[in-house]
Chain A
């Protein structure tokens, strides 16, 4: 194992020691330039999709145990002696087994092929009573948990490249998704407003200021508001029927004296006191003075929805209940001590008062620090807890049913009844992941579209999907705020990668170095705060709370202490964090406006690592980087030694971060590890993105996901519904550090095409490209399309089943044309060509499948022994022939034979195929030109692509020009050049190489026309640019029809390419024809070529008859034959059917 491990590390060594700018291990280390080595080290430890894996690992290792503890006992209403207690829960290994040996049903790739779910058993240890005895049962399987690939419960965890190959897995695949029923499903990261935090907002038009907090606990989710109404402050909550004056709430919560209320809310600030004073009047008017009166007041307003057999509460009890558990539900009340809650409400009120005074103190909803990201683990945990509760509930109901029966034959064993429902958890989890519908009863949450099918169009599209963040905002709303680029997302969320159109700005992507936190324990941090000298709030005097210079210490949004020395407190706390005494992901920052110190330890915060700077000197030194290069140190050593730390958005806002070492001043607290980490993985592919117009980078982010290339090392083993692969993909001549980090150079999607930027032939307008035919002949842009076709051989209840029939032969013993591709087993043979109309799976279904088994008598069966099956073959229908690539036969979950046939097409580029460079410059192939007609340079080099120069001025993609120059220099020099964001090879150096190799410094060459042979009068910008072939190909889209199928009801031509539909002459086209006056054309298009129908119209009654007979007038004399559209005839009949008689009045035309 150790030997193989070394091998794995070697593959990373390559990353750690790239000979960048000719540097190797022995060269002197320059901290300013070499600190970027921390980035591969970071990715080595965390991987590319660390946020998903971390979150899932936290869920299976920690959260599951918490859920078990929270729901640990199942009791019976009938038998008070019975109990069942959950002791422990494990995923994938038994109590005695080694936790590292994960037990899964089948390896992931087999699950993909056989349409199964990649899951591991959930084992629990239970303790329960059987009669008088207490029994401990270990390793009880209660269901199966879908396993996230590459998580610590996955068989792929910690495997070397070799071992991965044996499992048919691609070592570059990032994991982080699930396989459910054979499809790969990703749970997208969900963006939400942070929970359990006060958000202050104001509506200037209505003059409302409100502070709200969404309380979220395991049990419920509720929102509490403190709002202003006519300058008075009220508390609002969904389960309280009307707004309650804030002073009453505070009184109910035990702050009885008006003075103390004033102290808690306003402190000694007379301005605030003036604003707030009005609230006391209202309370006095309502006659509420004591806590009891306040509680009763609230109790009367509470909307009570009691469960069936719960006892009825008195009004005061309702009031107490409301304060204790309904309002600000995330604070738990012990022994009816409401002080903590009162303080919380007071703080909310204070924030409202402050905002009333100074409207600038509102919070920004769109500020990334006020957002939390919900990941797979959290969502799974919500789902699992729901299912687990249901499981326990069902179990309990079952128990009660049995225990109710007075006499039982044998001793009751609860375990016999627990297994009955074990499928609920498994199917519940599977269904949620496969449909994406997250419905949780206890939160009344109904969320659709949580999961998506992992797009395997290209490696980048799969990777891009793993970093995607979807927002909860409605897409249709026309608001700019949530869609806008937030300054606070610098370094956390990619600034370029967002879709265009309706989801623009709502779907975001993580930047390269982003980490998302998981929950940390609160209690030790709380203790630490007290040790550090902060005064516990529960013993603090109300009058000192808001005195000048007193800072409140908030832990996860709740005031826990006060301190007079916030700076010292924060510095010490940070010191402890840097020394590893506190979790690295706990953030602390001061907010001067609110006089508060905030400590955050909750999950879902976005953070990123930065180098610590002290006294103007970065702590990462040459020596440390050398250790990193030598492999002595890993990224975590930098954390442990306090050289690097994670900052979340809020703490980042409290720091001064230098971009480069040269920018460091005395006040600087941190140094950026690498500047290009502002971009994400997908935007990182763009060379010189800092020279491009920003929307171009965004366009490329969308197009990079459509590029055809290599998908994974196991791409030929996969049987996907649709798979696009490129025959000869190349790594780009101009790469970036990000490309190396995400290993795009190992699974590239594109080719380095020699491009001439010039006008040629007129077939290149509107971004069309001119392609060189010889380049295409030699394999440029050649790609393959694989399509899966599935057949299932069903079994029917009457014991009949689908079968495969062999091929049919003609008189000569040759197979008939339709069966040419078949083998004797009735399946297409691998390597055979199938043309449109040919059969590749000769399936037959029983004719009597619906007949029941009981009815048939032996006589009947003897009568028709043959003809038991009827052909239902799978016929290939497509304009171009395919080849059979793979045929797989297996058995699916429910024991039915599963046949998958993979068909392959190899396509060379043709007119209309779409290509794009990496700068958002897409274009279709406009003409394919013979090589001898192409322009050539002194060396005889012809371009592969000619691009029209009009693509440049308005697009301003200077990065593309730089890519060309750098690429050309690289080709001449025999080296790969870099176009890393905010860095990369310098234009001056590139020009130098060009001149040294005898070319012009500008990258422009003198070209000869291939047609006339003369020199071109302009110098042509000529060199390699990385071009991607996009998935949109003419072959999949071409469509034309003269005659074809019609819809049954209207007899009009069908719609759509898939149904061989007609091309509609629509309303606007019709308008043109009318305006032009071509009435005969109109008649021909709209009726004769569509749904002309001869009807018999009765001239006397105006209704339609048939066979020359009017059934209304009972005569044939007045019948006139005429042609109308069938749709019109249908309309008349439909009108008649609802008692409206449309009568036709016929007159002479001339």
Chain B
């Protein structure tokens, strides 16, 4: 069985992953060996920026890659606002909606600094300096005394008429004063608009931020998205030359297909292909090209919300998966054999 997923004009073939113990791609050797895996597994980092990481995982089974993806989205813990205590809110935006918006603001906190909150605990003992970060928002809109008389621009007419995420102020509690002395808690994106005010309106509230996971609420997910795609494969079966080659090139995004000096089209970089299947629409390329995707080559793209570096999120997902495996191994049922 080939490890290429077939891309046909109306369907996808050979999608099932077969790379698990007891079954192997090359039928001669059905045994799954760790050494073989270690030898063949490759991690290829394309680029890592502050917010995104793009890397290839080559030579592992779909289930493992998918587990990383799922864990990054749903199970890597992060910190977000959970309890909003509103003292005063005379703006047009309702308390619940404002609280919802504050909840979705990603915060720059290292989740390792916090412990899990005990949901069953008494209201008084629930929040400690170990498990809660307190933010406050106190803002009053007023008229700008220096506004130019004929202006209709609210930016000029009023002060504080826009409430941004950056207006959320960190209030360190107890040992947090030292702990967060160098890296105070701030929103990752300071210019998220939370509410709009007009003179006389004010918002005064306090936020308790706790640790949570994306499975509970999307706001605890540390990634905007984490996903992978399979490496595209383009097989040119018969040479395509001349005008056809140019047309062939047009069927793919820039940089995928190049034409050599003989006027023959060749695959320059199939990684850039978006697999639009445009080439399959053309009758003339029928039988000349075969599209596919490598089933064990995952091009990961992890976009962090900003709380943690993207690579850190991936490492955590690996750790969580490892813990899960350990847990499973220690389960009574696992010890039966």
Q: Which residues of A contact B13 (CB under 8 A)?
A: 1017
Option from A831, A883, A939, A1006 in Cβ contact (under 8 Å) with B227: A939
**CB under 8 Å from chain A, chain B span 76-118:** 86, 89, 92, 94-97, 100, 104
**Distance of A936 Cα from B303 Cα, bound (Å):** 15
Chain B min CB distance to A880 (Å): 12
Residues 218-230 of B, flagged 1 when their CB comes within 8 A of A and 0 if not, give 1101000111111
Q: Is the CB of A1017 within 8 A of B274?
A: no
User: Which chain A residue lies CB-closest to B216?
Assistant: A777
Option from B11, B12, B17, B97 in Cβ contact (under 8 Å) with A906: B97
Q: Which residues of A contact B293 (CB under 8 A)?
A: 1015
- The answer to whether A938 and B274 touch (CB under 8 A), given A779-B100, A931-B73, A931-B214, is yes
Option from A883, A1001, A1010, A1015 in Cβ contact (under 8 Å) with B5: A1015
**Distance of A831 Cα from B221 Cα, bound (Å):** 30
Q: Which residues of B contact A773 (CB under 8 A)?
A: 218
Q: Which residues of B contact A906 (CB under 8 A)?
A: 94, 96-97, 100
**Distance of A773 Cα from B220 Cα, bound (Å):** 13
Q: Is the CB of B69 within 8 A of A932?
A: yes
Q: Is the CB of B225 within 8 A of A904?
A: no
Q: Is the CB of B74 within 8 A of A931?
A: yes
| Cβ-based interface call for A940 (8 A) | yes
Most buried by B among A931, A942, A1016: A931
Q: Is the CB of B74 within 8 A of A784?
A: no
**CB under 8 Å from chain A, chain B span 1-23:** 5, 7, 10-13, 15-17
| Cβ-based interface call for B176 (8 A) | no
Q: Which residues of B contact A784 (CB under 8 A)?
A: 94, 97
| Cβ-based interface call for B143 (8 A) | no
- The answer to whether A1012 and B218 touch (CB under 8 A), given A904-B94, A998-B274, A1000-B277, is no
Option from A716, A831, A938, A1017 in Cβ contact (under 8 Å) with B12: A1017
Option from B11, B277, B278, B301 in Cβ contact (under 8 Å) with A1018: B11
User: Which chain B residue lies CB-closest to A938?
Assistant: B229
User: Which chain A residue lies CB-closest to B8?
Assistant: A1019
Chain B min CB distance to A937 (Å): 8
**Stretch of B58-66, B257-265, B321-329 with 4 or more beta carbons under 8 angstroms from chain A:** B58-66
Q: Which residues of A contact B104 (CB under 8 A)?
A: 778-779
**Distance of A322 Cα from B218 Cα, bound (Å):** 83
**Distance of A939 Cα from B301 Cα, bound (Å):** 8
| Cβ-based interface call for B319 (8 A) | no
Chain A min CB distance to B72 (Å): 9
| Cβ-based interface call for B240 (8 A) | no
**Distance of A941 Cα from B214 Cα, bound (Å):** 16
Chain A min CB distance to B15 (Å): 4
Q: Is the CB of B96 within 8 A of A1015?
A: no
Q: Which residues of A contact B5 (CB under 8 A)?
A: 1015
| Cβ-based interface call for B147 (8 A) | no
| Cβ-based interface call for A885 (8 A) | yes
Option from A883, A998, A1001, A1016 in Cβ contact (under 8 Å) with B96: A883
Total A residues in contact with B, Cβ cutoff 8 Å: 41
Residues 982-1019 of A, flagged 1 when their CB comes within 8 A of B and 0 if not, give 00000000000011001111000010101011111111
Q: Which residues of A contact B86 (CB under 8 A)?
A: 831
**CB under 8 Å from chain B, chain A span 776-797:** 777-779, 782, 784
Q: Is the CB of A998 within 8 A of B276?
A: yes
Q: Which residues of B contact A1001 (CB under 8 A)?
A: 276, 278, 281
- The answer to whether A932 and B70 touch (CB under 8 A), given A831-B95, A995-B278, A1015-B12, is yes
User: Which chain B residue lies CB-closest to A727?
Assistant: B97
Q: Which residues of B contact A775 (CB under 8 A)?
A: 218
**Distance of A997 Cα from B303 Cα, bound (Å):** 21
**Distance of A994 Cα from B253 Cα, bound (Å):** 12
User: Which chain A residue lies CB-closest to B272?
Assistant: A998
| Cβ-based interface call for B195 (8 A) | no
| Cβ-based interface call for B268 (8 A) | no
User: Which chain B residue lies CB-closest to A728?
Assistant: B97
**CB under 8 Å from chain B, chain A span 437-468:** none
Residues 11-52 of A, flagged 1 when their CB comes within 8 A of B and 0 if not, give 000000000000000000000000000000000000000000
Q: Is the CB of B74 within 8 A of A1015?
A: no
**Distance of A504 Cα from B214 Cα, bound (Å):** 49
Q: Is the CB of B218 within 8 A of A774?
A: yes
User: Which chain A residue lies CB-closest to B227?
Assistant: A940
| Cβ-based interface call for A930 (8 A) | yes
- The answer to whether A1016 and B221 touch (CB under 8 A), given A906-B97, A932-B73, A1000-B278, is no
Option from A779, A831, A1013, A1017 in Cβ contact (under 8 Å) with B62: A1013
Q: Which residues of A contact B94 (CB under 8 A)?
A: 784, 883, 885, 904, 906
| Cβ-based interface call for B215 (8 A) | yes
- The answer to whether A777 and B70 touch (CB under 8 A), given A1006-B7, A1014-B17, is no
Residues 224-240 of B, flagged 1 when their CB comes within 8 A of A and 0 if not, give 01111110000000000
| Cβ-based interface call for B209 (8 A) | no
**Distance of A1144 Cα from B16 Cα, bound (Å):** 75
Option from B10, B74, B275, B303 in Cβ contact (under 8 Å) with A930: B74
Option from B62, B214, B281 in Cβ contact (under 8 Å) with A1012: B62
Residues 185-196 of B, flagged 1 when their CB comes within 8 A of A and 0 if not, give 000000000000
| Cβ-based interface call for B217 (8 A) | yes
Chain A min CB distance to B328 (Å): 19
Q: Is the CB of B15 within 8 A of A1017?
A: yes
User: Which chain B residue lies CB-closest to A940?
Assistant: B227
Q: Which residues of B contact A885 (CB under 8 A)?
A: 94
Q: Is the CB of A1016 within 8 A of B218?
A: no
**Distance of A994 Cα from B276 Cα, bound (Å):** 9
Chain B min CB distance to A533 (Å): 61
User: Which chain A residue lies CB-closest to B300?
Assistant: A940
User: Which chain A residue lies CB-closest to B64?
Assistant: A1013
Q: Which residues of B contact A932 (CB under 8 A)?
A: 69-70, 73-74, 214-215
Chain A min CB distance to B207 (Å): 16
User: Which chain B residue lies CB-closest to A162?
Assistant: B152
Q: Is the CB of B10 within 8 A of A1012?
A: no
Chain A min CB distance to B10 (Å): 7
Residues 292-310 of B, flagged 1 when their CB comes within 8 A of A and 0 if not, give 0100000001010000000
Q: Which residues of A contact B253 (CB under 8 A)?
A: 998
- The answer to whether A936 and B15 touch (CB under 8 A), given A727-B97, A999-B274, A999-B276, is no
Q: Is the CB of A883 within 8 A of B229?
A: no
Most buried by B among A942, A1013, A1014: A1013
Chain A min CB distance to B232 (Å): 9
**Distance of A1015 Cα from B297 Cα, bound (Å):** 13
Q: Which residues of A contact B7 (CB under 8 A)?
A: 1006
Q: Which residues of B contact A716 (CB under 8 A)?
A: 92
- The answer to whether A931 and B218 touch (CB under 8 A), given A1013-B62, A1015-B293, is yes
- The answer to whether A777 and B219 touch (CB under 8 A), given A1012-B62, A1019-B10, is yes
- The 8 residue pairs across chains A and B that have the minimum distance between CB atoms: A1013-B66, A940-B227, A998-B274, A777-B218, A774-B218, A940-B225, A906-B96, A932-B70
Q: List 14 additional contacts besides A727-B97, A727-B100; criterion CB under 8 Å.
A: A716-B92, A774-B218, A775-B218, A777-B219, A782-B97, A931-B214, A932-B74, A999-B276, A1000-B276, A1008-B228, A1012-B62, A1013-B69, A1017-B11, A1019-B12
Residues of B within 8 A of A (CB): 5, 7, 10-13, 15-17, 62-63, 65-67, 69-70, 73-74, 86, 89, 92, 94-97, 100, 104, 214-215, 217-219, 221, 225-230, 253, 274-278, 281, 293, 301, 303
29 examples of A-B residue contacts, CB within 8 angstroms:
A716-B92, A727-B97, A774-B214, A777-B218, A779-B100, A782-B100, A906-B97, A930-B215, A931-B74, A932-B69, A932-B73, A932-B215, A940-B226, A940-B303, A994-B276, A998-B253, A1000-B278, A1001-B276, A1008-B228, A1012-B62, A1012-B66, A1013-B63, A1014-B15, A1014-B66, A1015-B12, A1015-B293, A1016-B15, A1017-B15, A1018-B11
Residues of A within 8 A of B (CB): 716, 727, 773-775, 777-779, 782, 784, 831, 883, 885, 904, 906, 930-932, 936, 938-942, 994-995, 998-1001, 1006, 1008, 1010, 1012-1019
